[in-house]
A = this chain, B = another copy of it.
Amino acid sequence: MNKDFIEKLQEKGLKVTPQRMAIFDAIITLGNHPTADDIVAFIKNNHPNISVGTVYKVLHTFVENNLLKKVKTEKDIMRYDPYLSHHHHLYCADTERIEDFEDETLNKIISDYFEKNKIANFNIQDIKLQITGKFQH
C-alpha cells in the first residue's frame, strides 16, 4: 500500500517525492521483477519528464535503504524485487519470467538441516532457492 511506503520513506529520513512514488508504484504494478528500463518505460506514460538518471538513483537509494532488493540473475541487467519478506524465486528456463515462491515448511526443513549440519567456517545469514524450470501455460 502506498501509505505504508510513504511511512517507510519517512522512517528512513527520505523525502517523499512524486518520482519516488511513481517508481515504487511502477515496480508493484509491473510485477515480474522489472529492470530499470521497464520502469522508465512504464513511468514515461504518466510522467513523461522523468529522467533516466533519477530512476537509477532512486532505485539505488531504495536498495541501500532496504526498501527494494536486487534480484540475482545471470544477466548483466539489474532487476528489482519489492517484496521484502523472505522468499525464493522461480526462474523460467526459457524466458525472463521470475516468480516469487514462498514455503514456510520448506524454509523450516532447510534451516533445521543447517542447525544440525553447520558449514565449516561460514555463518549463514540467509538462504534462498533459485528454482529453474518451466511454467505450464
A76, B60: Cα distance in complex, Å: 13
Report if A72-B130 is in contact (Cβ < 8 Å); known contacts: A106-B113, A109-B113, A110-B110.
yes
Chain A interface extent, by class: 35 or more
Q: How many copies does the complex hold?
A: 2
Tell whether, in the assembled complex, residue B74 and residue A122 are in contact, meaning their CB atoms are under 8 Å apart.
Answer: no
**Interface class of chain A by DSSP:** strand
- What are 9 A-B contacts with C-beta separation under 8 Å? A72-B73, A76-B78, A105-B117, A122-B134, A124-B133, A125-B133, A126-B132, A127-B129, A129-B130
Bitwise, A74-108 to B at CB < 8 A (1) or not (0) is 10111000000000001001000001010101100
Tell whether, in the assembled complex, residue A133 and residue B126 are in contact, meaning their CB atoms are under 8 Å apart.
Answer: yes
A93, B90: Cα distance in complex, Å: 22
